[in-house]
Amino acid sequence: MIKFEDVSKSYENGTQVLEGVNLVILPKEFVFIVGPSGAGKTTLVKLLIREELPTTGSIFFEDTDVTKVKKNLLPSLRRKIGVVFQDFKLLDSKTVFENVAVSLEVVERPEGEIKQVVPNVLNLVSLLNKSECFPYQLSGGEKQRLAIARALAHEPKVLIADEPTGNIDPVASDEVVHLLEKINTLGTTVIMATHEVGIVNRMKRRVVLMHDGKIVKDEKVGRYEV
């Protein structure tokens, strides 16, 4: 479903961030991408959603070579790949409901569909009772769950969470990880980039370890030792 073939990436200033990355992720997998800060985890995510282009190599999402997608087809690619970040990226002046609805409105989904889909995803992340709240009225964990709800609005095939627990306390982190597990059970491929050893080792899932831009370990039931 996702395939990186001999991917390398250098930024304009000459920094080589990824080198010879080969990675295959199958449908419905749950994969941790781990490694210290600066290892290249976020760059990997940015390449997959074509926020950046690789210097060499190919990246496939289903049958599409992501590096060759025409600009006008990028939004449709990105709707298939939901992404959440450490800093939530919520719209502060909009309610919980509106934060999710907006992503459907921009692609002109009918109002009836929005009224059905938004409560569904809010229910999935246990935020239905906060629909009318604004982000400042939410805890860190709730904000991250809202970001996840928004990423799920288009029913993506893949959900990527880049350090989703970086800004929240341990209890909220566990809730977020269990939510990701539930989403995975419902059929979505989940990729979580993290450097939180405790979470990774408790979950007993596939672990891809990155170091200095290279994949140095890839285990089906992995542990993360630092």
Select the residue interacting with ligand ADP from 2, 4, 7, 17 (CB under 6 A): 17
Closest distance between ligand ADP and the C-beta of residue 213, in Å? Answer: 7
Select the residue interacting with ligand ADP from 13, 70, 136, 220 (CB under 6 A): 13
Select the residue interacting with ligand ADP from 11, 89, 111, 197 (CB under 6 A): 11
Closest distance between ligand ADP and the C-beta of residue 40, in Å? Answer: 4
Residues of this chain, 21-80, that bind ligand ADP according to CB under 6 A: 35, 37-43
Q: Is residue 161 a contact point for ligand ADP (CB under 6 A)?
A: no
Q: Which is nearer to ligand ADP, 127 or 210 (CB)?
A: 210
Query: Contact at 8 Å (CB) between 23 and 208?
Result: yes
Q: Which is nearer to ligand ADP, 99 or 144 (CB)?
A: 144
Closest distance between ligand ADP and the C-beta of residue 182, in Å? Answer: 25
Closest distance between ligand ADP and the C-beta of residue 193, in Å? Answer: 6
What is the Cα–Cα distance from 123 to 118, expressed in whole angstroms?
8
Q: Is residue 86 a contact point for ligand ADP (CB under 6 A)?
A: no
Closest distance between ligand ADP and the C-beta of residue 116, in Å? Answer: 36
Segment interacting with ligand ADP, rule: CB under 6 A, options 9-17, 108-116, 134-142, 150-158: 9-17
CA 55 to chain centre: 23
Where does this chain bind ligand ADP (CB under 6 A)?
11, 13, 15, 17, 35, 37-43
